[in-house]
A and B are shown apart, each in its own frame.
Chain A
Amino acid sequence: MRPIIKRIWWEQIKAVIRLEMKKTFFARRGLWIYVVAALPVMLFVAYAIATANQQDRRANIAHQSEKPLAYQDLAAVKPGMTSQEVVAILGKPPITFHWTENRPPETEKGPSIEVLHENYHYSDGQNDLYLDFAGGKVESINIRQGNNMGQDSVMFAGVFQFFFLRLAVFFGCLGIFMNLFRGEILDRSLHFYFLAPIRREVLMAGKFLAGLLATCTIFVTSEILQTVAFLWHFSPSGRDLYLYHNHGLEHAAIYVGVTLLACVGYGAFFLVAGMLFRNPIIPAAAILIWEGINPFLPAVLKQFSVIYYLKSLCPVAIPTPPGMPPLMALLISAADPVAAPIAVLGILAVALVALYVSSLQVRRMEINYTTE
């Protein structure tokens, strides 16, 4: 039986990938892609550094406390307690300061009232407790939690969905895949490929795989570095807890998988766009808008989008802030998520449709540099 894919096609695809690698990884016009991929890593590194500094500061404050404190001690303070009652529970505060507030008079002609405010700052080494006393009684309590895995993983999910997927991977794929054919046309070197005894579809497949290899390498590396930076400031026991008992490892693997699928989906979209449009801004804007309005589209149209499936695959749901209008809330949470296998198949199907259109287009392409 004749094989569906000839052996020589694989050899040709490998030859195309070898030629494209240098261009996709080291092209001067593509250096910005590395910057975009590095931005979230830098964000998490900065966050880790800031958090580590805070931890040092908390440890310092806890060290200065009269007695060792636990979170339960910090939580035991209630509004209305006197400063003596608080000191009885937590000891003398390591950090205090006070100020006087001039409150307006209670009657029109009465004198203004001076209220003495005292602020106490305690720490158990992990969390901060800020207390505001007014007139000797606790008026407000603010417990700022230190290592909160839950909050941090929601923050990671937010950065992943709203910056990494929608901007970094999106524009990175645009930069690489749109240039696979368009860049060659601008450089007037596409005829080199078109003069070789290679099927145009095989050439297209080779170029797509080369683009995929480049984007996957760049963005999966970025994703892994983000995870490392994200986990950096946790204690070893906290890291183990997150990775092995709170699905952290599973989530990290899913994020890598979603990144790979994003490269496949957006890559296929931008490959075909690079063949159909001379100016990349038009299709980029169109696809960006299409992906942006996806939550508001009817169910049938939603399926022709990459972000629809990617959002469904993301492991951590981002809670909608209270009071947010329902339409805005749609942007954050997937109102009608699809099951993971369907989402994966959906992205692959969307990519296959785009690749099929590309294969038709590449057969029609002519070398006519003067009109470009």
Chain B
Amino acid sequence: MSDRMVNDRIVFEDVSKFYGEILGVNRVNLSIPPGITSLVGPNGSGKTTLMNLMTGLVKPTRGRIQVLDYKIDDPENLFRVLGYSTQFDAFPKGLTGFQFVYSYLRLSGRDSGTAEQLAWRAIERVNLVEAAKRKVAGYSKGMRQRIRLAQALSHDPKVLVLDEPLNGLDPLARSEMIALFRSTAAAGCYVIISSHILHEVDVISDQVILLSNGYVVAEGQIQNVRSEIQEQPTQILIRCSRPRELAAKMFEYGHTIEVSIHKDERGLLLKTRDADRFYLALNDLAVNGIEIESIAPADDDVLSVYEYLIGNEEVVR
């Protein structure tokens, strides 16, 4: 891999973090490309530790981390390209929402006028203009979440790290925020999100990193991750004209394990040990007169992959 490529990514090289004798994360090797990357795992799996390591809030016990061109022990430069919305729900005392974002921008060395302009723009992006002049101490959980997001976004970072950013938001705010993450990622940014809520992760992620007990158990695009899980049969949903006939034919191929016919007699759910051989067989059958309306994988989403790799502990569907 060339240096240029390495510098375009967020890289973890054999990173471990121990809090005394307690494991945070262990032997993490990652190379995160632009787009939305979701960190998925149960509580205590190491998601927040990974984010805190990425932003230099904690130091690795072993290994090396580089965020684009910057080392994590260089906050002066790192945080010019990185914004982090943490899960820490405490704010400097006595500040209004606007002052919170404005002070952050002044800390970064911006003059008063620029800081004010950027602060209002960020607050507008998270739809918090009306409450901006109120004290943060009086905000609801969702408003606090949004003002943290505004702070993280305020300096137009290239890398946006968001720890459970959808927590406490109502459905409308959730969809607004998801749209915001998407537009940020579409602009070529790196958006790293941790979440428990798997269906949302599924909808927004370009790639996922699955964590369990401090270890990365899988990473990459979800379909690729799914295809790597050989021990679990692939589930495929087929809409067709003669499902029972198709099922019978499929059992003639050795890789089919289980078939369920849909109630409306217009489709079936099939489990196969070898998806590639299944698709070849399906081509043959289609040529021989069975009309296939649609084929869709039924278990290459985050939820299924999560259940196969981690189990169903603390899953929020």
Please give the residue numbers on chain A whose beta carbons come within 8 Å of chain B beta carbons, in ascending order.
Answer: 8, 11-12, 15-16, 18-19, 22-23, 27, 187-189, 191-200, 202, 363-364, 366-369, 371
Residue of B nearest to A201 (CB): B76
Distance between B158 CB and nearest chain A CB, rounded to angstroms: 13
Distance between A361 CB and nearest chain B CB, rounded to angstroms: 13
Distance between A143 CB and nearest chain B CB, rounded to angstroms: 59
Q: B113 contacts which chain A residues (CB < 8 A)?
A: none
Which of A18, A188, A202, A364 has a CB less than 8 Å from the CB of B106? A18
Which of B19, B58, B79, B91 has a CB less than 8 Å from the CB of A195? B79
Count chain B residues whose beta carbon lies closer than 8 angstroms to a beta carbon of A.
32
Q: A197 contacts which chain B residues (CB < 8 A)?
A: 75-80, 107-109, 155
Assess A367 versus B93: contact at CB under 8 Å? Given A12-B109, A193-B107.
no
In the assembled complex, the Cα of A19 lies from the Cα of B107 at a distance in Å of: 9
Residue of A nearest to B95 (CB): A19
Q: B106 contacts which chain A residues (CB < 8 A)?
A: 11, 15, 18
Q: A367 contacts which chain B residues (CB < 8 A)?
A: 52, 57-58, 88
In the complex the two chains form, is B108's CB within 8 Å of A187's CB? Answer: no
Distance between B69 CB and nearest chain A CB, rounded to angstroms: 14
Q: B89 contacts which chain A residues (CB < 8 A)?
A: 188
In the complex the two chains form, is A194's CB within 8 Å of B77's CB? Answer: no
Assess A195 versus B92: contact at CB under 8 Å? Given A15-B106, A19-B103.
no
Distance between A336 CB and nearest chain B CB, rounded to angstroms: 45
The 5 closest A-B pairs by CB, nearest first: A197-B79, A188-B90, A15-B106, A196-B107, A8-B109
- Asked if B13 is at the interface of the complex by the 8 Å CB criterion, the answer is no
13 A-B pairs, CB-CB below 8 angstroms?
A: A12-B108, A12-B109, A19-B107, A23-B92, A191-B57, A193-B107, A194-B57, A195-B55, A195-B57, A196-B104, A198-B108, A199-B76, A366-B58
In the assembled complex, the Cα of A364 lies from the Cα of B104 at a distance in Å of: 22
Q: B155 contacts which chain A residues (CB < 8 A)?
A: 197
In the complex the two chains form, is B76's CB within 8 Å of A198's CB? Answer: yes
Residue of B nearest to A20 (CB): B92
Assess A16 versus B107: contact at CB under 8 Å? Given A192-B91, A195-B55, A200-B75.
yes
- Asked if B232 is at the interface of the complex by the 8 Å CB criterion, the answer is no
In the assembled complex, the Cα of A200 lies from the Cα of B108 at a distance in Å of: 12
Distance between B76 CB and nearest chain A CB, rounded to angstroms: 5
Residue of A nearest to B73 (CB): A363
Listed residue (A19, A22, A192, A368) with the most chain B CB atoms within 10 angstroms of its CB: A192
In the assembled complex, the Cα of A193 lies from the Cα of B104 at a distance in Å of: 8
Q: A22 contacts which chain B residues (CB < 8 A)?
A: 93-94
Residue of A nearest to B99 (CB): A19
Per-position 1/0 for B53-95, Cβ under 8 A of A: 0011111000000000000010111111001101011111110
